[in-house]
Amino acid sequence: MTLSRRHFLALGAAALLPARAARAVTNRPDSLYHWNSGGPFFGGFSGIELSSDRRRALLLSDRGFIVRVRLLRDDAGVITGVEKIEHFVLNGTAGSALRGHRADSEGLDQRPDGTLHISFEGSPSRILQYRDETGPAEALPRANSWQRLPTNEGLEGIAVDQSGAVFTVPEAPLDGTFPLYRLTNQWEIVGFLPDRDDFRPVGLDFGPDGNLYLLERKFRLAFFASRISRLRPGAWGQPETLVETSMGALDNHEGISITQDASGQLWATTVSDDNQNMLQRTEIAEYRLP
């Protein structure tokens, strides 16, 4: 979700509030890196996908482009720097660059062969597939119920399992819950995620363990909270909370990638969307998962 002018005004007002306005942190990331860069191809990052060695990443901006980076880590594996390798603009099905509301790209998944799946929350909500990252897109089928999604609260999270089935979830609830969609031959709803404490789904990723991991975000006044839950196959509607940060502890984290290090430890890496707002930050957080 891209924040509106009303939200920006709230962020400006919050800058004048005392630090005690934010509650104590209930869960902290194991590491947090503030990435300061600039230029027209930086910021608004709403999706992230790490390589299997955790040394490179793709970062998806909600302005219709992707940045490929190198993650610099110390001996303990903590991110100490980010080096940009390149960027490329996303194209539509006709092969020309996406622009305006049609470039509101939110969710990212990359397959082992390099194929990209990207979800869009603009009007209309849709999913595009890229066999060539700089080539024309292929449009996947749409579910009829997506027509009911608000323009700015559409398909945020996307993940593809080992069999190639595509999963997605909207940020806005439909009939009181958040339907989890799966595409094999056609779209079906495999579970309903409950509305828990005003958190909204913003990211999905399958881990090497075969489980689906859900990133949720809550926004109140001018502060954000993040939550990461695990969804097990066959129990898609029963999220198990693993991480929850308190309001104001982190910025607006919207993208998630699940990886495994050489010791077998599972990690969740999340990235924040700064909404092109000077009062916000681009953060990369990492959490050890049980």
Own/partner long-range contacts of 168-172 (Cβ < 8 Å, ≥24 apart): 168/107, 168/119, 168/127, 168/204, 169/193, 169/201, 169/204, 169/214, 170/121, 170/125, 170/146, 170/201, 171/1, 171/121, 171/200, 171/201, 171/202, 172/200
Kindly report the pTM of this predicted structure: 0.90
Distance, CA of 203 to CA of 189 (rounded, Å)? 17
Distance, CA of 189 to CA of 191 (rounded, Å)? 6
Predicted local distance difference test score (pLDDT) of residue 123: 72
Predicted local distance difference test score (pLDDT) of residue 1: 57
Tokens 């990133």 sit on residue = 215
Distance, CA of 49 to CA of 166 (rounded, Å)? 16
From 181, 172, 222, 163, select the one nearest 201 (Cα to Cα): 172
pLDDT tens-place values along the chain, 290 residues long: 555 444 434 444 333 333 322 332 248 999 999 999 989 999 999 999 999 999 999 999 999 999 999 999 999 999 999 999 999 999 999 999 999 989 999 999 999 999 999 999 977 899 999 999 999 999 999 999 999 998 889 999 999 999 999 999 999 999 999 999 999 999 999 999 999 999 999 999 999 999 999 999 999 988 999 999 999 999 999 999 999 999 999 999 999 999 999 999 999 999 999 988 888 999 999 999 98
Q: Which helix (H) or strand (E) holds 31?
A: strand 31-34
Distance, CA of 273 to CA of 280 (rounded, Å)? 8
- DSSP state letters, 33-62: EE----STT---EEEEEE-TTSSEEEEEET
Predicted local distance difference test score (pLDDT) of residue 221: 86
Predicted local distance difference test score (pLDDT) of residue 21: 29
Distance, CA of 79 to CA of 73 (rounded, Å)? 4
